[in-house]
Amino acid sequence: MQTASPGNFRWRIVALLFIATTINYIDRQVLSFTMTDELFRKEMLGLGPGDPLTPAAIDRFKIQYGDVDAAFKFAYAIGFLVVGWLIDKIGTKRGFSLGILIWSIAGVLTSFVGSMRGLVSTRAMLGLGESANFPSAVKTVSEWFPRRERSFATGLFNAGTNVGIVITALLVPYLITHYGWRSSYFVTGLLGFALFAFWWLNYSKPERSPRVSKAELAYIRSDLDTEPAQKVSWGKLLGLKQTWAFAVGKFMADPIWWFYMTWLPDFFNSNAALDHKLDLKSFGIPFLIIYIVSDAGSVFFGWFATQLMNFGWSANRARKTTMLICALCVVPIFTAAQTSSITIAIGLISLATAAHQGWSAIMYTFASDLFPRSAVASVTGIGGMFGAIGGIVLAFLAGRIITSFGYLPMFVIASCSYLIALAIIHLILPKLEPVRAEEIEEVLV
């Protein structure tokens, strides 16, 4: 039974992570909306304002757009090679600050590009900086929360991904239609600099914060003695089955989420099966619906797993049951590419994105549940790298698949990925047991 919680300053830290994740996704998501702007497409293809944008040119743009997206994810993966280790070494405050600064500079620089080559460079820089967000956030949760509250706290900050997309869907089309596509990158890039200052001035570890009471600090540290304190390198972490269970969950699911973020505006703008198309002037409400539902999924499924544990379920049973429900909710999405009703398509995609966010919230708790605090950022970095590798492959293929076969194959891949991932995770790790000190010692030999 859960004990009463003395003090609540730790939930303000979650709010800070929520804001950071929201801005992270605003900067990440701008491209998927600007890519539907005709002038942007022409400039990236080297066409003049009066040149026709032929179907062949549009197909060429989509293929190159997929390559740009792959470049972002490649840099994102490279970032994970070092960012988790860096955050564990220099601390969450300084490590996350560096990431925020890099991605904000990249966002502003994108407003000055004039070709696909320039876009590849700035998006790669953006990916490098943005790789710091989730290792930092997950490590922060592990520092500020006892294990029983982490899935709910993770679900809350992870909800910022959806809010970021909603804000982008409302703000960016307005900026593009009134001030041109370059303004969208410049304005959203500036948000990151504000975040950098806010994070630097407000974040500290709980034991260093004057606003944390002794009672709350004791509550936060209530399960500290159950977690091994050894620091473990990447190479040694890769020898643990817990690491591979986490990596598989990220490898199979992250690319699907990135597919939604990258291609949904084009799906609603160009899918021939739909009886009604969306454009820059009409994206707002449908995307508001999709990602509000996604937000609810992130919070609900994180809360649901926590409640099951409060009812006496083991972490293994609670986490995996929640993940199974999420995986089943994604299965119907393949019909979104076949229906002619935009309303049904929005409903199916909303359900799938909500389920993904629930899955994601549970996956992030794997890192904080299964590993010592000193290794959480490194493990999250490993998982993020594998997720990015999967994203690179899918991003490189997406434009080619869509131009040749339409959206159905992509949605079929999405509908199957989570169930396959859960089956593999269960085979690797039948029980979600934390790494024991003796296991780390065995790996260290």
Higher pLDDT, 197 or 441: 197
* Average of per-residue pLDDT across 378-406: 88
Residue type, 1: M
CA distances from 435 to 86, 246, 305, 372 (A): 22, 13, 21, 8
Q: Which residue has the higher pLDDT, 214 or 222?
A: 214
At 65-91, the pLDDT tens digits run: 999 999 998 998 888 778 877 887 888
Closest to 184 (Cα-Cα) out of 52, 54, 75, 30 = 30
Query: In the numeric block, which tokens belong to residue 406?
Result: 């339409």
Amino acid at 345: A
pLDDT bracket for residue 444 (50, 70, 90): very low
User: What is the per-residue pLDDT across 316-339, written as a single tens digit (0 to 9) for each?
Assistant: 899 999 999 999 999 999 999 999
Dist. CA 34–CA 67, nearest whole Å: 16
Question: What is the DSSP-derived secondary structure letter of residue 225?
Answer: G
Which pLDDT does position 210 carry in this prediction? 81
CA distance to 29, 54, 126, per residue, from 26 (Å): 5, 30, 12
Task: Enter the tokens of residue 419.
Answer: 């169930």
Q: How far apart are CA 132 and CA 204, in angstroms?
A: 17
pLDDT at 431 over 60: yes
Mean pLDDT of 222-247: 73
With b meaning 16 or more CB within 10 Å and e meaning fewer, what string describes 105-142?
bbbbbbbebeebeebbbbbbbbbbbbbbbbbbbbbbbb
Of how many residues is the chain composed? 445
List, for residues 159-208, the tens digit of each pLDDT value.
888 889 889 989 999 999 999 999 999 999 999 999 999 899 888 888 88
The mean pLDDT of 423-435, rounded to a whole number, is 89
pLDDT for position 223: 66
CA distance 409 to 400: 11
The yes-or-no verdict on residue 28 having pLDDT over 50 is yes
Q: What is the pLDDT of residue 230?
A: 54
Measured in whole angstroms, the distance separating CA 172 from the mean position of its chain's CA atoms is 20
Cβ–Cβ under 8 Å, residues 422 and 100: no
At 3 the pLDDT is 47
Q: What percent of the chain has pLDDT over 90?
A: 48
- Average pLDDT value for the chain: 87
What's the pLDDT score for residue 72? 92
Which has the closest alpha carbon to 34: 187, 159, 163, 158?
A: 187
User: What are the residue ranges of helices labelled H in 91-224?
Assistant: 92-110, 116-130, 133-144, 150-158, 160-179, 181-202, 214-220
Rounded Cα gap, residues 367 and 242, in angstroms? 9
